[in-house]
Amino acid sequence: MAKPVRIGAQAALAHLPLWRASDGRDAIERDLHFSDFAEAFGFMARIALVAEKMDHHPEWSNVYSRVHVLLTTHEADGVTERDVALAKAIDLAAS
């Protein structure tokens, strides 16, 4: 498989209004809020299946009803179309 092409956070954000650039690295991030822990954890489980199918995994954390997601493509050392695709899947699952 070819190495993903780095497009950069700013190019990605043109298509992702709910996301922001991460400070200090070429990455995008979003904070999501749910009604409780079960809803937040259920969301993470659904996205884990999508991410596994895409073979592209987020950096994320969960505290009770909050989920923080950071996306970057490590082998490209920055944001690629793979991050945009996963971000769109996250947006769809969260809506």
**Angstrom distance (rounded) from CA 34 to CA 6:** 32
Is residue 26 within 8 A of residue 6, CB to CB? The reply is yes
> What are the two backbone dihedrals, phi and then psi, of residue 42, each rounded to the nearest 5 degrees?
-60, -40
Active site residues: 52, 56-57, 74-75, 83
Q: Which of 94, 28, 13 is nearest to 59 (CA)?
A: 28
